[in-house]
């Protein structure tokens, strides 16, 4: 898959099918839309193009900050798996937000050789979202492209959306989030030095530093698979929170890799969240905390090895 960061650097010779969106998390609804687009494009000998934005449009348009479900690099990997030929990553700015819909679509025709625009029924682009589906269909009749609408995917009776997944993770419901994503929620970062308290208790932990702006699941204890660079995978117990028993005052993501013996400092570690074990809580003593962590380890081992 090729990646471009502006339309001006592209001049596709073969016709293309294009879909546009934030695609945060590349969830099952995105997969249905983009996978269908790519299959039909390739069957017709055309290019499959996904156009996305960085940063998230919601962060630029003055709404509440949007905690991201994926980095742009993770999105690129997931879109490549869906057989997208070209990913266009546009820097979303107020100027981009203010671009009239017709001008933006004309650029798609000119640079991407657009012949089919794929979208959901509520899709809109351009200044003040003027370019909704009826507008785009009329524009397509004049410019020479068609609009293909894919109905949203439903799971457990509700539409799958990035908003739904964020709400589930914020509540600690990783089962709901994973069902919408079609895979475990993934969080990765570099392992940094912590206070070393876990090692003194015989339960060493890796302190993860996630990328800024990533959505961290609700405080609590989780069963996860930990993935190291190089492909090694280990079952793990992960604590998300402020560690109230030891009077810590900032959010941490700490992973204890079951049966692992090695140095992780400075390495990239990925966490796949499988199940929530319990809430974070205050224990009357460190011994009580250690006893509970050992119970967490056994429960995680049971869940992750069955």
CATH number for the domain harbouring residue 201: 2.40.30.30
Q: Are residues 40 and 139 in the same domain?
A: yes
One domain, residues 191 and 150: no
Quick one: 110 and 232 in the same domain?
no
Domain membership flag for residue 127: yes
Give the pLDDT score at 57: 82
Q: Is the pLDDT of residue 142 over 60?
A: yes
Residue 63 has pLDDT above 70, yes or no: no
116, pLDDT greater than 90: yes
- Name the pLDDT band for 210 (thresholds 50, 70, 90): confident
Q: Average pLDDT for residues 129-134, to the nearest whole number? A: 96
Residue 188 included in any domain: yes
Local confidence band at 44 (pLDDT 50, 70, 90 cut-offs)? very high
- Determine the pLDDT at residue 153: 98
Residues 152 and 22 in one domain: yes
Q: Would you list the DSSP string of the chain?
A: -EEES-STT---SS-EEEEES--TT--HHHHHHHHHHHHHHHHTT-EEEEEEESS-HHHHTTSS---BSS-HHHHHHHHHHTT-SEEEEEPP-HHHHTS-HHHHHHHHHHHH-EEEEEE-TT-EESGGG-EEHHHHHHHHHHHT-EEEE-PPPEETTEE--HHHHHHHHHTT-HHHHHHHHTS-EEEEEEEE----HHHHTT---EEEEPPTTBPPPPSEEEEEEEEETTS-EEEEEEEEE--GGGT--S-EEEEEETT--S--TT-EEEEEEEEEEE-----SSHHHHHHHHHHHHHHHHHHHH-
| 91 and 29 within one domain | yes
Average pLDDT, the chain: 92
- Give the pLDDT score at 200: 63
Q: Please check whether residue 122 lies inside any domain of the structure.
A: yes
Say yes or no to pLDDT of 249 above 70. no
Same domain, 226 and 281: yes
Q: Are 122 and 77 found together in one domain? A: yes
Domain presence at residue 276: yes
Q: What is the total count of domains within the chain?
A: 2
Same domain, 86 and 139: yes
- Find the domain containing 252 and state its range: 184-305
| pLDDT per residue as tens digits for the range 152-208 | 999 999 999 999 999 999 999 999 999 999 999 999 999 998 766 666 667 889 999
pLDDT at 250 over 60: yes
> Domain boundary residue among 158, 192, 225?
158
What local confidence, expressed as pLDDT, does residue 9 receive? 93
Q: Are residues 142 and 11 in the same domain?
A: yes
What is the average per-residue pLDDT within 205-223? 93
Looking at the domain assignment, is residue 106 inside a domain? yes
Q: What is the CATH number of the domain that holds 87?
A: 3.40.50.620
Select the more confidently predicted residue: 292 or 118: 118
Residue 173 resides in a domain: no
Which one is predicted more confidently, 230 or 70? 70
What's this model's pTM, rounded to 2 decimal places? 0.92
- Average the pLDDT over 76-82 and give the result: 98
Residues 39 and 137 placed together within one structural domain of the fold:
yes
- 290 in the same domain as 142: no
Look at residue 282 and tell me if it is in a domain: yes
């Amino acid at each position: 898959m090729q990646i471009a960061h502006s339309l001006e650097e592209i001049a596709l010779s073969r016709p293309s099918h294009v879909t546009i969106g934030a695609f945060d998390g590349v969830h099952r609804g995105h997969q249905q839309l983009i996978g269908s687009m790519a299959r039909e494009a390739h069957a017709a000998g055309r290019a499959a193009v996904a156009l996305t934005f960085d940063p998230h449009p919601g962060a630029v348009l003055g709404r509440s900050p949007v905690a991201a479900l994926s980095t742009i690099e993770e999105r690129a990997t997931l879109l490549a798996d869906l057989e997208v030929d070209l990913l266009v990553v546009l820097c979303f700015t107020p100027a981009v937000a203010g671009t009239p819909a017709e001008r933006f679509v004309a650029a798609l025709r000119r640079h991407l050789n657009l012949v089919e625009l794929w979208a959901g029924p509520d899709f809109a682009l351009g200044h003040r979202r003027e370019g909704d589906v009826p507008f785009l269909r009329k524009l397509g009749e004049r410019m020479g492209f068609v609009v293909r609408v894919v109905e949203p995917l439903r799971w457990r009776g509700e539409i799958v959306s990035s908003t739904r997944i964020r709400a589930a993770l914020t509540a600690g419901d990783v089962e709901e989030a994973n069902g919408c994503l079609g895979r475990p929620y993934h969080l990765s970062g570099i392992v940094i030095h912590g206070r070393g308290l876990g090692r003194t208790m015989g339960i060493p932990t890796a302190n993860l530093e996630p990328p800024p702006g990533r959505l961290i699941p609700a405080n609590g204890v989780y069963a996860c698979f930990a993935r190291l660079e190089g492909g090694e995978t280990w079952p793990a117990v992960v604590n998300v929170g402020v560690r109230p028993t030891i009077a810590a005052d900032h959010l941490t993501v700490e992973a204890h890799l079951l049966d692992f013996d090695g140095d992780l400092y400075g390495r990239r570690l990925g966490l796949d969240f499988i199940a929530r074990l319990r809430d974070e809580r205050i224990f009357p003593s460190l011994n009580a905390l250690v006893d509970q962590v050992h119970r967490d380890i056994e429960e995680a081992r049971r869940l992750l090895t069955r």
